[in-house]
Structure 1
Amino acid sequence: MQGRQFMVPITIQETCIRCNGIGRQGAIDSRGCRRCAGTGTIEVQMGNVDVRRICPSCCDNIDDKGIPCFNCRETGRIEKRHKIMATVKPGVKDGTRLKILGKGEPGVYGGPNGDLFLKVRIREHPYLSRHGNDLHSEVEIDFIDAILGKQASVQTLDNSALIDIPAGTQPNHEFKLSGKGLPNEEGTETGDQLVTLRIKLPTEISSYQLNLLQKFYLDPP
């Protein structure tokens, strides 16, 4: 919610350095062959029929085909693990996709690397929930404090804050802490924190306390 940098482990398919991505060691790389345009075959006309044959410039000589590359199992690629730095901006939303240029897998035929896409997943906060750029939380006081009024401490994103609860405040009343929410994606505005009041009732009271409550009930203000 506040934004930070993360080291992200990734696994990508890289070009095998032992065979240069051909899949066979000691082979001629047909990808640079002008005659077959890297396909390894050419089209030859025999009468009225066009047939495809192995390109004599890069693939016809058996000695140029090399031996199977056991480093990549003839796939031309091997798995490599890396760690990259990803920057998550403040206020990013759950499910946001981050694009990191040039950190994807290598392109075919020597082309440029692709891009890496990361999906942001946000863990739930133990006290705060998000609604747009606003944060929601709760504060609990006992019923005597609700009647008499008090100051209560509430958890905020970066620390804590005190709110004044006036005497006679009703259950589920909502207090607003301005500017204690999250910034928007542009960083031009910040949301608020909305705190809902919960009133805790005692589960056990003495006979003296019960008598006082009954008198209060029979003679309300």
Structure 2
Amino acid sequence: MANWTLEADEVVSLPLDELALRVLTDYRDNNEWNWRNWMLLAMQEAYPRRPDAVRALAEAWSWILNHGLVAPNLDKGDHAVVVSRQGEAFLDRGAAWLRSVERLDVELVPALERTARPQFLRGDFETAAFVAMKEVEVQLRAISGLGHDLVGVKLAQEAFRQGGPLHREETQAGEAVAIMDLFKGAIGLFKNPASHRRVDLSDATEAAEIVLLADLLMRLLKRLEVEAQGEDG
């Protein structure tokens, strides 16, 4: 803990993930190899009279271990760990990035699992958001049966307009317009700009939300497809 400078009150007051980031940074930068030894130093030398600070650091280590930010170092025995690949990404990109990864820790539709999630985990947020909305457009075209001459907003409008292939006569008029506007807005805002110009999407949280929005839209399309098949049956 040669470079450890946090006062006890700071240790207690920091959010857990931010504290974990400080702990793991110190562990790596000082070439530590045993997390329990690190904790003993904290208890005996850094905060001998502050059990609350020691408890907070123990919670940070529990958080680090539970999130897979370290991996066992089998060459050195019990409590020996090294920073994992996930941990290196955490140290490089920060707590906000890991929160966004956890935000996407849900079961996405298969197409997004194959395309958007891998790009997101690589840190390519712009591509992740673009391919997620592209998958929405691909599925929208497939389910509606419309041709490749229609793209983006025009495709969504033609699919959901009154008399269009995805319009349902039994749907209340306001709701029918709303779902059309939902798809037009999502594709127009998050897919079309990236098709025409470079978009600087560096916010991991925003990218995660776009992927989740795409997941919702694709689930809605799947529901419409199932309903249409039921009507035909």
The normalised TM-score by structure 2 is 0.20
More helix by share: 2
Greater C-alpha radius of gyration: 1
